[in-house]
Structure 1
């Protein structure tokens, strides 16, 4: 089974994280697959909207720590370019993706499972969704441009509290903060997503893409992503971060 599946139906491309036994934690192979699918979606005129969804009870538990730990030497190598790493290629793809991007969230969304939502134009969540950002608990800095996007969305104080305290934010609280468009019962997720995608796919593609470009500044955002990435990689060699990783891997 592929850990990322792609299905195109009537102009809507659904990319589904398909690793439910691991709570859809992302591996480098999954980052590569998502990046390739987003590139194909941009070049395919039949794709009007892209939906990021997930199989199972949880949306995404963040990075797969075991998979990530195997590549720690590469991340810690300051001579390795950002664009050589699968995670940064994916982050660049969503930063510059100018077709409508919709996320569907259920259960846990952790780390990058939350920060990628900041790049989506619409987010629909089940009422059981729970969002958490544990970067500082691991001795790391946030990523995916979230140090820019999160304060823009919810204000500095709330963003700082969430990042520093690391609390779990329920779906309805996230909706009230402006991170989620709709919160619905789990069984109603398909209908809620279709209500958005059915309307988006019949709009003028050029007008949608132009509007999205006007609303975003991807060049500035990408510079923030790169700056975060450089600091993220520096933090990986710090004793407190390595201790946090060892504690996690020993569970």
Structure 2
């Protein structure tokens, strides 16, 4: 029998099914973009499950056809353009806006339960970068893929992903993914060792639950949690430092207006191509 969490959530669903806690991103109309209260609610749910006396697995997954499309572009575009007196003021303001994200990554890195990422569908941008490298187990639907546009937008790999992907799949594959924006299918990710299992898209969430329940029948929950703790203990400092370093590097790119310049350059290029086609 499933129970809900202690708090009322609007942009996620939290369910506790026996020894499995499930956090489901629940903004399917926006492809589970990181808008509204989604991120802070995930932080709250992770904290709640971390302290839960009975759960062994914490699953993060999504409602609808996408796991997450990352940043809420529409919401960001609607924000007024703020003028800052100095570059330092601009950088500090940007860093302050991402305190929630830093706490989100810390909450996953320090999470006591076995953290399972259930990729119910495609993930783009932050949805493809933030969680994958710091997950303990990744289960993916057969149509899932990962893709990041960081270099195309003049940005950098976000919130520790350069380090966590290096640890997970090696430097050259991580560079292909993070530098060049290569689209990686679930099948490739399984071959590379990032994805543990692939399940059919239909009834994906139930298949994830069934698989984890099978593991709980075979294996002792505390033993699995201790294995996770021992494996991640020497990685903790590097992972947290990577989150901060990436936030600082991203802030510098924002101070330089790198993403705005890239957008203007691409718009001009597309406009010039359009004019050339029109002349033909």
The TM-score normalised by the length of structure 1 is 0.88
Aligned positions of 1:97-112 closer than 5 A: 97-112=111-126
Deviations 1:192-225 (A, max 9, x none): 3124321454544443332212111212210111
The aligned counterpart of 2:68 is 60
The aligned counterpart of 1:181 is 196
Label 1:44 to 1:71 Cα distance change in 2 as closer, same or farther (>3 A).
farther
User: Does residue 226 of structure 1 match 2:254?
Assistant: no
* Conserved? CA contact 1:143–1:229, under 8 Å: yes
- CA distance in 2 between counterparts of 1:208 and 1:227 reads 31
Q: How many residues align?
A: 249
Aligned positions of 1:197-212 closer than 5 A: 197-201=212-216, 203-212=219-228
Label 1:176 to 1:84 Cα distance change in 2 as closer, same or farther (>3 A).
closer
Deviations 1:96-121 (A, max 9, x none): 11211111113320122122122211
Deviations 1:83-138 (A, max 9, x none): 97211111111111121111111332012212212221111111111210211111
Larger Rg: 2
User: Does residue 169 of structure 1 match 2:184?
Assistant: yes
Cα RMSD (Å) of the superposition?
2.7
* Conserved? CA contact 1:124–1:192, under 8 Å: no
Task: Select the residue among 17, 24, 31 that pairs with 1:16.
Answer: 24
The aligned counterpart of 1:153 is 168
Task: Select the residue among 14, 20, 31 that pairs with 2:39.
Answer: 31
* Conserved? CA contact 1:126–1:183, under 8 Å: yes
User: Does residue 94 of structure 1 match 2:108?
Assistant: yes
Indicate the structure whose relative CO is greater, using CA pairs within 8 Å and at least 6 residues apart.
1
Label 1:84 to 1:225 Cα distance change in 2 as closer, same or farther (>3 A).
closer
1:47 CA displacement: 2.1
The TM-score normalised by the length of structure 2 is 0.79
Q: Which runs of 5+ in 2 are unaligned?
A: 1-8, 267-280
